[in-house]
């Protein structure tokens, strides 16, 4: 298995939706080329997080930190990113919100990407993902 090129993960922005206690967060990624052996694909995807147990109101998120267990423990976030024709699991263990700045709310996520689950050819890895949620 190969190491995933983490340096290609470039979050553009985030969008919150849903209802209090059952929030979805989509982190749009800048498109990038991903190669494995002789296959190459332009990845135009998002990290999709569903079932996030937080308030929907950004003012209630400002300056807060939330921790979550890993799937399949109760309270986990159902997360994935789509490439190579499959949804690849992304576990989020922590979300930290910054202070609202105009129409943006900074967010930092600690993530674990389970790429071996769908046999992508890449090793599992952990990384932090930081972007702004558009308000």
For the chain, give every domain's residue range. 6-134
Q: What is the DSSP string of 53-106?
A: -S-S-HHHHTT-EEE-PPTTSTT--EEEEEETTEEEEEEEEEEEE---BTTEEE
Average pLDDT, integer, range 21-32: 98
For 53-87, the pLDDT digits (tens) are: 999 999 999 999 999 999 999 999 999 999 999 99
Q: What is the mean pLDDT of residues 97-102?
A: 97
pLDDT of residue 26: 98
Grade residue 128 by pLDDT with cuts at 50, 70 and 90: very high
pLDDT value of position 57: 97
């Amino acid at each position: 298995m190969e190491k995933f090129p983490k340096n290609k993960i470039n979050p553009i922005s985030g969008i919150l939706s849903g209802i209090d206690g059952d929030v979805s967060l989509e982190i749009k990624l800048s498109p990038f080329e991903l190669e494995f052996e002789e296959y190459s694909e332009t990845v135009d995807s998002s990290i999709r997080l569903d079932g996030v147990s937080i308030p929907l109101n950004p003012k209630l998120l400002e300056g807060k930190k939330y921790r979550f267990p890993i799937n399949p423990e109760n309270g986990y976030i159902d997360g994935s990113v789509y490439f190579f024709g499959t949804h690849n699991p992304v576990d989020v263990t922590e979300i930290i919100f910054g202070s609202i700045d105009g129409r943006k709310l900074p967010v930092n996520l600690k993530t674990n990407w389970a790429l071996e689950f769908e046999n992508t050819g890449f090793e599992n890895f952990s990384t932090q993902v930081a972007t702004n949620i558009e308000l």
